[in-house]
Amino acid sequence: MSLIDFPIVDPHIHQWNPYTTPHRAALLVKLLGKDPYLMDQVARKAMPKPLMDMLGLTDYALAPYLPADYAADLGNNGLADALQAEHQQFGYQVEQVVHIEAGWHDHKGSGVVGETRWVKQLPFEQHGIRLGGIVATADFTDYRFKKILQLHQAQTPLLRGLRRMASHHPDWGIQRWSEAPHLYTNRKFLAGFEQFAKTGLSFDAWVYSNQIPDVTQLASRFPQTPIVLDHLGTPVGLFGPVGNYTGVTTAARQDIFHHWKEDIAQLAEQPNVHAKISGLMMPVLGHAFYKNRQLASPEQMVDLLSPLIEHAIAVFGVQRIIYASNFPMDKVNTSLTNLLDAYARMIQPHGDAAMQAIFRDNAKRFYRLV
């Protein structure tokens, strides 16, 4: 029986379809989609190794991930409303989700508005789930940024904010989602953010743990803008070697954790910042379950992740911590239900009020969900 006996919010999922939308692998899946093994082999030769290492496996990344797929991962497989209450006794009921931008390949200028247009029409309702919000993307350094933002807003009232990934690691063997090592302190970025701050929208910040101080500076500079740190700042290599040299020794991993703890604590001093416990089973953290086609159990995840969760709650408090699945990106190392089981076990000792806050209320307040 589920430890969570109320409908939850999942404010960080990704939707994509490489067959019908702009996607990095669109040509590959159209040519070789009927032969997953060959497609995987070609992808590993054609795509940069850091990206392949970030994904771990390609089968989930090269396949569509749509509302039906999320519902299947949740275990409800499109249950009708009349069955939701009965299902809730045995599993998890997700009341609503927030789509977070997922690397839409038409990313120049206003091309990114296509993702907002596409996501808003996805049939979540057919699976007993509501699309509560969309977090889009835009280039804050683009001279057309204000216009692009207005185009996003014109598409749907579901727009809740923007995310611009800044993840950049000094290890060349680790996937860089930003060419700039310190995007959030870049002068042109800050000029765009100043315009963004006037809208009242929220900002999703994603960095690697070596860049958490950049988020602290950004939050301090714009104290009225709600900011959420995605994936607890992604401490790369914390659980094992990744890239060319990161996390290769026990001492190195202890150092990563030590600096992460200090930087997260300083970030938490900014009252406009929340933090998502999400993305903690991605391969870039050093998890290798996927290499043996294994899924981490709830018990294994509790053992691995408890130090991160406990520290985050200690510094942010239960009112500024938000659960999110990051599916399907964490799917490579665990299942959605295992992930929920693990987080529920870690948070339950903090009490019923904490469970309600972290699994539902904080996300609804931060993203202004109804």
* Sign of the CA dihedral with 291 first, then 293, 294, and 295 last: positive
What is the mean pLDDT of each successive set of 10 residues along the chain, which is 370 residues long? Answer: 91 96 89 90 93 93 96 72 44 95 92 98 97 98 96 98 98 97 98 97 98 98 98 98 98 98 98 98 98 96 98 98 98 97 98 98 97
- CATH architecture of the domain 8-16+65-366 equals Alpha-Beta Barrel (3.20)
Residue 88: the pLDDT is 44
Alpha helices in the chain (DSSP H): 26-32, 36-46, 49-55, 67-74, 81-88, 113-119, 145-155, 187-197, 212-221, 250-268, 298-316, 336-347, 352-356, 362-366
Which residue in 286, 337, 334 sits closest to 308, CA to CA?
A: 286
pTM of the model: 0.95
Residue 1: the pLDDT is 65
Q: Which residue has the tokens 């379950």?
A: 289
Which residue in 203, 352, 356 sits closest to 274, CA to CA?
A: 203
Q: Enumerate the domain spans of the chain.
A: 8-16+65-366
Which residue in 360, 320, 102 sits closest to 369, CA to CA?
A: 360
> For the segment 187-202, what is each residue's pLDDT rounded down to a tens digit?
999 999 999 999 999 9
Tokens of 84: 């939701």
Task: Name the 3-class secondary structure at 161.
Answer: strand
> For the segment 284-324, what is each residue's pLDDT rounded down to a tens digit?
999 999 999 999 999 999 999 999 999 999 999 999 999 99
Residue 33: the pLDDT is 87
Residue 265: the pLDDT is 98
- Beta-carbon contacts of 110 under 8 Å, excluding residues fewer than 6 positions away, are 144, 147, 148, 151
